[in-house]
Amino acid sequence: MFDDYECEGNMTIFDYLYPTFKIDKPIRLIELFAGVGSQAMALRDLGAEFEHYRVVEFDKHAIASYNAIHGTDFPTMDITQIFGSDLAITDTDKYCYILTYSFPCQDLSIAGKMQGMTKGSDTRSGLLWEVERLLKEVKELPQVLLMENVPQVISDANISDFHKWQKFLEDKGYTNYVDVLNAKDYGVAQNRERCFMVSLLGQWNYKFPQPVPLTKTMADYLEDEVDEKYYINSEKAQKLIQQLIESGQLGQQENHNIPCKLDKPYIDGKFVSMTSDELALRDVGTETVGTITARYHKGLGSNGDNAVITQIGAIDIERSQTDRQL
């Protein structure tokens, strides 16, 4: 009944009813869908001391990168093939367990197939419900859960499933806090909105961090001189394009530009779509760069409006950006 009651200074009645959550125990980090460990990087950058306790990532290249970055030696692991006991959550009176689960977004994102995350749908985004299974199987629950995903996770198409997920967590004793945050509001020169949900075991008060001024632009990050080894020469590019044409992945065209783009760059006060070639010809004059559209795809897409980022594409964007000042 107090959900909509607001006090002076944007405080709610829950600020008085619930204590503020604080971590006062050694942290054990469990990363599901770990990728290269961006959550671990965030903790590291905050200066937090923690243990890389469990990492679940099935992609061999991602786990190799994770181990190289963090100095660990985790094997590949398929979340559908593990059990709650494999997470080894014990002694929660002595340790604070933070479990992250940034499940695949391919079936939620507007850059993907948008097939949803319904339980039993057999979609990649539907792997969220493997987390439900694991939380049902563990004998002791982690005190903190962190989800990060595309904003479409709470869109009209997916909100019903998201509410089911929230209800499950509430029934397990968690208090959920959800917000959509943009990287450009937290010191990163990139226009990248993501939905975050922090779930705390018990009744706790939590507030997402306030935005901070953007002090660096893309020009502060881009190098003036880029070693030639990071470029693909014309001969190799033409050979690759010919292979893609012969395999049918790329249509016959007179001019094959490397088909990559920035998704909605911010130009003249609005978001627009531009190919890398267009970017090279214009002085964008922007402080933030749009989100790069990326997919797991071998080869290059021929649709410039729905581009696929590959090694060539990433290099082409870097080259065009170094040719003019952002």
Contact 259, 302 (CB under 8 A): yes
d(CA 94, CA 277): 56
Task: List residues with catalytic annotation.
Answer: 105
Contact 226, 319 (CB under 8 A): yes
Residue-wise over 188-206: b if at least 16 C-beta within 10 A, else e? ebebbebbebbbbbeebbe
Give Rg (Cα) of the chain.
Answer: 22
Q: Write the CB contacts of 81 (distance below 8 Å, at least 6 apart in sequence).
A: none
Q: Which burial class, exposed, middle or buried, applies to 54 when counting CB atoms under 10 A from its CB (0-12, 13-18, 19+)?
A: buried
Q: Write the CB contacts of 242 (distance below 8 Å, at least 6 apart in sequence).
A: none
Contacts 24+ apart (CB under 8 A), 250-258: 250/299, 250/300, 250/302, 251/302, 253/302, 257/304, 258/300, 258/312, 258/313, 258/316
Query: Per the structure block, which two tokens stand in for 27?
Result: 């942290």
Tell me the angle at which helices 159-171 and 128-137 cross, rounded to the nearest 10 degrees.
10
For the chain, the straight-line distance linking the first and the last C-alpha, in angstroms and rounded, comes to: 49
